[in-house]
Amino acid sequence: MKTKLRAFSDSSGRPHYKFNVQFLKDNGKREGYNCEVRNKFEALAELTETTVEQHWEELQKTWKTTCTKVLGKKEREHKKWLTPVTWAKIEERGELKQKLNRCQDQQEKDEIRAQYWDINRQVKKSARADKRQFVHDLTDEAETAARLNNTKRLYEITRTLSGKQGNPGKPVKDKSGKIITNEAGQRSRWEEHFKEILNRPPPPTAPDIPPATEQLHVNTGPPTKAEIIKAIRKMKSGKAAGSDGIPPEALTADPTLSAEMLQPLLHKIREQEEIPADWKLGYLVKLPKKGDLSQCGNWRGKKRWRWTRVLFRLARSPSMKVFVLCTWI
């Protein structure tokens, strides 16, 4: 029976790559990146006449093309834990295997077989020693990361040593209790479940809210450049890019420049009361609770939005924050 490998394509629509944002820690690389972004932004002179969606697409294209050109896409590197000595023994074992298959004389075949089993024992012994040394080096690196408070690298090493690579999808049941095994059916079931949970009908009676006794003086004008810079600086580094594929380091590399690029767009959003479609998208992460995990009710959903937090920080009053949330929903 022959087996074939089939390419797996994730249908969630998320970006399948990351940029080398660690290069931005270098001052020269960061200055080159900011210069490239500024040159591309200055070339966009007619953004004031575009719609909100077109304006955001041009800004998004500016950041992504600059990241691709200056930083480059990150490639996964698998650390080789087998030493060259072990690889040489593996190649020698392969050559003996081929000789053994081609040999016709029985006496010579027995001699080659003995050599093969001897080199095979050496390969296994050397591989075990290499693996012990590899694990020892990882534990030393984990101790160093813990001492330097580098939790990201610490958890990466922990996942490598534990052998747990991600959380595989678990089959869920539909409303009738039948198990759904295919991916498309499971996505439809999760979509149905979270639509029922998140989309609640309005209350039958409107709440009785008394009028305010004191009028608060709140600045309801457009966000200033200083406020946008403050909101950008609060963005955390090292986080995954959202549905737009732009890492947070692309904006925090120069908060002043990013604020100059975003301020006209935010003013346009405020005037037209329209938000780009990408800003309404987010990743819904499933977190397990207690009980039977084949039941959708035993999972909790958490949606991650980036641009909601940015506008939420720009809101100057509770009423404006409620308006931001209602606009997103």
Distance between CA atoms of residues 210 and 213, nearest Å: 9
Whether residue 29 has pLDDT greater than 60 = yes
Tell me the per-residue pLDDT of 53-108, one tens digit each, with 9 for 90 and over: 888 888 889 989 999 999 888 876 655 788 889 989 999 999 999 988 888 888 88
Distance between CA atoms of residues 255 and 285, nearest Å: 29
Q: List Cβ neighbours of 8 (8 Å cut-off, separation of 6 or more).
A: none
Among residues 190, 155, 157, the alpha carbon closest in space to that of 172 is found at: 190
With cut-offs at 50, 70 and 90, classify the pLDDT of residue 5: very low
pLDDT of 79: 59
Burial class (CB in 10 A: 0-12, 13-18, 19+), 167: exposed
pTM of the predicted model as reported, rounded to 2 decimal places: 0.68
- Summarize the confidence of residues 234-252 as an average pLDDT: 82
Among residues 186, 246, 251, 252, the alpha carbon closest in space to that of 15 is found at: 246
Whether residue 328 has pLDDT greater than 50 = no
The angle that helices 255-272 and 52-66 make with each other, rounded to 10 degrees, is: 160
With cut-offs at 50, 70 and 90, classify the pLDDT of residue 129: very high
Instruction: Catalogue the long-range contacts made by 74-80 (C-beta closer than 8 Å, 24 or more residues apart).
Output: 74/17, 74/18, 74/19, 74/20, 79/134
299's tokens: 């999972």
With cut-offs at 50, 70 and 90, classify the pLDDT of residue 207: confident
Whether residue 283 has pLDDT greater than 80 = no
pLDDT of 143: 93
* Residue 197 one-letter amino acid: I
What are the extents of the domains in the chain? 21-76+221-328, 84-162
58's tokens: 């041009």
With cut-offs at 50, 70 and 90, classify the pLDDT of residue 166: low
pLDDT of 305: 64
Whether residue 1 has pLDDT greater than 60 = no
